[in-house]
Amino acid sequence: MSLHTDVLHDPAHAFMPYPAVPVPHAPTGPLSGLSFAAKDLFHIQGYPTSGGQPLLLALLGVQSRTAPTVQRLLDASARFVGKTITDELAFSMNGQNAHFGSPINGAAPERITGGSSSGSASAVSNRLCDFALGTDTGGSVRAPASHCGLYGLRPTHGRVSLQDTLDLAPSLDTCGWFARDVSTFARVADALLGEDAQPLPDRVRLLAPGDLWALAVPGARKALMPVRQQVEAELGAAGRAAVVLESLDAMYWHFRHIQGHEAWQVDGGFIRRFSPPLGPGVAERFAWSATVTDAQLLAARAFRDRFRLHLAQRLGDDGVLLIPTMPDIAPRIADSETALEDYRNRAIRLLCVAGLSGFPQLSLPLAQRDRAPLGISLLGPPGRDRSLIRLAERIEAGQQASA
C-alpha cells in the first residue's frame, strides 16, 4: 500500500497517514485545478474516519460512503488529496492532538494552529492544498483561520450539510472551509453555498460593538485598527452597537452548557464503554460535560432563543458586525496547558456570538502582530453567507486599488 504523494511529503504534519485510495472527481467543473483536503470527521468512501481518537478509528474503520458536502466538491472537479488531523473528538481549540500529533502553523510555526480543524488550516497555510474543509462548533474554523492567516467561514447553522460527518454538538456544529485568498474562497462558496435567498444590500450598515472589541487584548486592538479603518473606508463608517445580552459570563456559560450536554450525548456512550485514553484538556472537558444538568440545559436553550432574537433585531436585514475574530494572535506552542485553557475561555466569549445565534461569521486574514496573523471578522444576518464573502471581495479590491 502506498500513501498519497502529498501525504508522503507532509512537512506540516497536517495529514492522517492513511493508505491512498482513488477518489474520483469530475474531469471539468467550476473548481477544476483546485486541490482540497477534509478534516477527519468527514466520511469518504475507502478511507477510515478517526475523529482524532485511535479507539474510535478502530471502531469505525473504513467507510463505504462519502459525505455529500465532499461529493459536491468532487462533482465540481476539485481534487481530493487527503484527510487532515483533527483535535481529539473535535473538542479542543488548540490544534494539539495527543495521539496523532500537532499540525504546524504555516504562518507562525512557533505558535499553535488552533483547533479543532488544525490539520486543514495547517495544510492550506503550508500550501499543501488550495482549500480544506473544517467544522466549527465553538470556533474550530474561525480560530485556526485567524491564527494561520487564512479566510475561514462559520456558515449559517445548517447552510452546508454535515450529513455523514461525525458530530460534536449538533445544534452548534457547522461545516466551513479555509483558503489563502478570497478568490479561491469565493469559488468554493459558489459550489457549497450557491446564492443567498435574500442577499445583503449593496450598502450595508456596519456596526463595531464595543463590548466585543473590548475582549481583544490592547495589542491586538491596536494591530486591528488600521484594518478596521480600511474596512470602513470601503463599507462605510461603523456605528456603535452593544451585542452582549445579560453578560459575557452568561453567554459563555449558556453556550458551554449546550455544547457540553450535546457533546456528552454524542460521545458519552463511547467514553463510558471503552474508557479511551483522552488527551489533556479533552478529558477534563468531557468529564465536565457529563455534569451538565437538565435545568442548565433548559436555561441555556431559552437564553439562546432570546439571544438569537436580540441579535436579529440589532442586525435587521442590512447590519454587519465588524469584530476581532480572536482576542489575540495564536499562543506559542511552548505555553502551558493552563495558559492555553485561559486563552480558550477568553476566546469563547468572543466566538459564542455566532455559536449561540447560528449566524454566519467570516474571518479575514488582514492584520498582523509580532509577525503573526490576526483575523478580523464580518458577522451578518442568517442566510447572508455569500454576501459576506462578496463584502470581503470588495474589501480586497479596495485595498489593491489604494496600494
Q: What CATH number is attached to the domain comprising 335?
A: 3.90.1300.10
Looking at residue 3, what is its pLDDT?
Answer: 42
In which residue are the cell numbers 474516519 written? 49
- Quick one: pLDDT band at residue 402, thresholds 50, 70, 90? confident
Q: How far apart are CA 309 and CA 303, in angstroms?
A: 10
Statement to judge: residues 243 and 385 lie in one domain? yes
Sheet holding 361-369, edge to edge: 79-84, 35-39, 131-136, 174-179, 151-154, 361-369, 372-379, 319-324, 205-209, 239-241
Q: Pick the closest to residue 102 from 270, 281, 355, 256 (CA basis).
A: 281
Q: Which of 160, 192, 224 lies at the terminal end of a domain, its last residue?
A: 192
Segments forming the whole domain that contains residue 63: 5-192
Statement to judge: residues 185 and 216 lie in one domain? no
Residue 223 CA to its chain's centroid (Å): 22
Q: What pLDDT digit, counting tens, does each position of 237-278 carry?
A: 999 999 999 999 999 999 999 999 999 999 999 999 999 999
In a domain, residue 322? The reply is yes
In a domain, residue 159? The reply is yes
Average pLDDT, the chain: 96
In a domain, residue 271? The reply is yes
Statement to judge: residues 130 and 263 lie in one domain? no
Q: Pick the closest to residue 353 from 229, 209, 226 (CA basis).
A: 209
Contact 146, 227 (CB under 8 A): no
Q: Which of 192, 220, 240 lies at the terminal end of a domain, its last residue?
A: 192
Statement to judge: residues 174 and 37 lie in one domain? yes
Q: What pLDDT digit, counting tens, does each position of 94-108 carry?
A: 999 999 999 999 999
Statement to judge: residues 181 and 303 lie in one domain? no
**N-terminal to C-terminal alpha carbon distance within the chain:** 50
In a domain, residue 223? The reply is yes
In which residue are the cell numbers 461569521 written? 361
Statement to judge: residues 350 and 396 lie in one domain? yes
Statement to judge: residues 291 and 393 lie in one domain? yes
The pTM assigned to this predicted structure is 0.96
**Domains of the chain: total:** 2
Statement to judge: residues 239 and 327 lie in one domain? yes
Catalytic residue set = 39, 116, 140
**pLDDT, mean of residues 330-356:** 94
Residue 116 CA to its chain's centroid (Å): 8
Statement to judge: residues 41 and 96 lie in one domain? yes
